[in-house]
Amino acid sequence: MKTRRIFTIILLPLLLSIGLTPALLSGGTPDAFALNISGRAYTAPDSDQMVCGDKLCSELDERDTIIVYDDGYYQLVQITPNVYSFGSESAAFSLVVRTNQGIIVVDPVNQNHAETMLQAIRTITNQPITHLIYSHNHWDHIGGGQVFSDIGAKVLSHIDTALWLEENPNPKVVKPYAYWEGDFKEIVLGDTKLELYQFGPSHGEGMTVFYLPDEKIVFLVDIVTPNRVGFTIMPDFSPKGWENTLIEIEKLDFDTAMYAHKKAYGPASEVTEIREYLQDLRVEIMSMMDQGINPMVIPSTIELTEYESFEYYDQWLEMNAWRVLLEMWMGW
């Protein structure tokens, strides 16, 4: 009794203040499915009557891509009848999943992006946005979540993302309302299944791979930017873990990869190309070291001619090589 009172008076406000209560009160991993809809009545529309671009959704082909919103900078692109990419080739993309019980959004990016995304979503449906999920901890993908939190979306992330955000608060980033733990979480919302995977260290904290098994689609944030070498010095990347994560992703049954940068989506083979690039970079560095070449000159002299067509090959290959070399050398 006394313990319960202490919990209520002292610990509960503390837990509420750090935003982890739902998980702790439920005695373990929060059930993401239980986080939504309560208190808000919602009637699913007749899906045959949903409008997709200038057609009824029921008239669409499997992979009929339609731009349903375009303001000259941001676009909402329909990948399948219920899966959309929102964003800009100059900045970042979010994932939007429409179900018959509400909308799931992955990554708000920033306030302007989030406000415009909401406006774009409202051109296709009035359904509630029930979930806002963060892909990982980096502020450049998860700012602006207040826009969705204010209209009732529950903000969810992997526990590693949530803990990092506790230690590194940013006024532009809404802290997760609840988290999921471990390496797998399934969210079933209405007629749609969304699987969340955490394959270990790759980039940032709690990097989550989003998989829609029925649509055979993955959404990959920062860990695959197609036809491009790694971003500059590969900030907050663990190259070996990154390779492992891509190997795990390749085991999923998907034919379309959606991205956060450069373009909205592409074929599964683009994931394999990035994994092969990382492996070939590592193998070439090892080979140069085996030849007795001074490690300090390897990054400035390395060549991977097979990848010359990759964007930023001339500018960033040297920086990529430093990152991989330092991990091999120092374990970091």
Token digits of residue 268: 């599964």
Residues 126-145 that bind Zn ion (CB under 5 A): 138
Separation of alpha carbons 154 and 49, rounded Å: 28
Region of 8-16, 200-208, 263-271, 281-289 interacting with Zn ion (CB under 5 A): 200-208
Say whether residue 175 binds Zn ion (CB under 5 A).
no
Residues 99-125: b if buried by 16+ CB within 10 A, e if exposed: bbbbbbbbbbbbeebbebbbebbeebb
Say whether residue 222 binds Zn ion (CB under 5 A).
yes
HSE value, Cβ hemisphere, 13 Å, CA-based, for 164: 16
Sheet holding 256-259, edge to edge: 184-189, 192-197, 209-212, 217-220, 256-259, 265-267
Total number of residues binding Zn ion (CB under 5 A)?
Answer: 3
Region of 75-83, 151-159, 197-205, 313-321 interacting with Zn ion (CB under 5 A): 197-205
C-beta closer to Zn ion: residue 108 or 204: 204
Region of 16-24, 64-72, 157-165, 216-224 interacting with Zn ion (CB under 5 A): 216-224
Region of 12-20, 171-179, 222-230, 304-312 interacting with Zn ion (CB under 5 A): 222-230
Tell me the closest approach of the beta carbon of residue 136 to Zn ion, in angstroms. Answer: 6
Closest-CB residue for Zn ion?
138
C-beta closer to Zn ion: residue 196 or 302: 196
C-beta closer to Zn ion: residue 30 or 204: 204
Residues in touch with Zn ion (CB under 5 A): 138, 204, 222
